[in-house]
Amino acid sequence: MIDLPLFPYHRDPIASDSVRETDARCDCCGEKRGVTYIGNAYCLAQPETLCPWCIANGNAENKYDASFFDADFVDDDMNPVDLPPEVHSAVFGRTIGFATFNPIGWWVHCGEPAEYIRRDEPYDMIFECRKCGKQQTIMDLD
């Protein structure tokens, strides 16, 4: 059983296949944490091993200028939503990634980014509002 830090915007990184076990040291913190992120990191340096803790605490974002999503915030109608830079950073820079076919719309409800719950194969991404609990399906077609 892999123990992971909590990601407020991504409920279950193990179910999302975002991590695997490893004996390697994390390139970012140098620690052997036993687990590495295996999704995309959007940054120039491509760390081979990156522990989920370095993503959660912002070290990877700061050290590599990394983000873990090709995404934009969207409302119910898939229109873009403007949120402050610190919110972009919390979601796209300090949330462990999950695989998508395309750049995605990250659902915003009640003025806040929603939490990514799971993928219903093949194309539905399920998000849940962190304030009111409403769920929304965002399509990700291949």
Does residue 10 interact with Zn ion by CB under 5 A?
no
Does residue 66 interact with Zn ion by CB under 5 A?
no
> How many whole angstroms separate alpha carbon 48 and alpha carbon 27?
7
Nearer to Zn ion, 26 or 138 (CB): 26
What residues from 67 to 106 belong to the interface with Zn ion (CB under 5 A)?
Answer: none
Q: Which residues contact 131 (CB under 8 A, 6 or more apart)?
A: 109, 110, 111, 112
Nearer to Zn ion, 35 or 104 (CB): 35
Nearer to Zn ion, 30 or 122 (CB): 30
> How many whole angstroms separate alpha carbon 78 and alpha carbon 82?
12
Per-residue contact flags (x/-) with Zn ion for residues 18 to 57, judged by CB under 5 A: --------x-xx---------------------x--x---
Residue of 17, 24, 88, 15 lying closest to 50 (CA atoms): 24
How far lies 98's CA from each of 66, 67, 77, 125, in Å? Answer: 15, 12, 23, 10
In the complex, least distance from residue 94 CB atom to Zn ion, rounded to whole angstroms: 13
Question: Which one of the spans 38-46, 73-81, 100-108, 127-135 is the region binding Zn ion (CB under 5 A)?
Answer: 127-135
Nearer to Zn ion, 102 or 134 (CB): 134
DSSP letter for each residue of 113-126: EPEEEEEETTTEEE
Q: Which residues bind Zn ion (CB under 5 A)?
A: 26, 28-29, 51, 54, 109-110, 129, 131-132, 134
